[in-house]
Amino acid sequence: MITWATPADYLAWAELDAAPPGLARAVRAANRAVRAATLTARYDTGADRLPLDPEVTAAFREAVCAHTAYLLDIGDLTGAAANTDLTVGSVKVKRGDTTDLAAAAYRILHEAGLAGDQPHIIG
């Protein structure tokens, strides 16, 4: 299974000296989310199935780091709280959804042409 970013990559990207709690778990979840979001993305690969273009690799790594930051910020590394609503009087708040890719990560992939598309059915 391809891993686009590691905890060390995240620390460098976020300019941190120490790992926040849950970093390894968040990076694993972010790698899965980016792989799922780019399932239909098209890019040239070598025999090892890795991108030939270093800019494509960098975009994947940056997207994983951006999604990792999102997961750490909202504090839900498992997606367990994704459907949790809170109602106070007439105000209803829905917690951030960790089952979707963070907006910043999606923008990075989109700008690199890697956001993927739905399959096209011809005929």
Helix (H) or strand (E) holding 105: helix 103-111
Taking the C-alpha atoms of residue 84 and residue 93, their distance in angstroms, rounded to an integer, is 9
List, for residues 84-109, the tens digit of each pLDDT value. Answer: 566 777 776 665 555 588 999 999 99
- Decide: 34 and 67 in contact? Cβ < 8 Å: yes
Query: Would the CA dihedral through 53, 54, 60, 66 be positive or negative?
Result: negative
In a 10 Å sphere around its CB, with 0-12 CB exposed, 13-18 middle and 19+ buried, how is residue 39 labelled?
exposed
List, for residues 14-65, the tens digit of each pLDDT value. Answer: 999 999 999 999 999 999 999 999 988 999 999 998 999 999 999 999 999 9
pTM listed for this prediction? 0.80
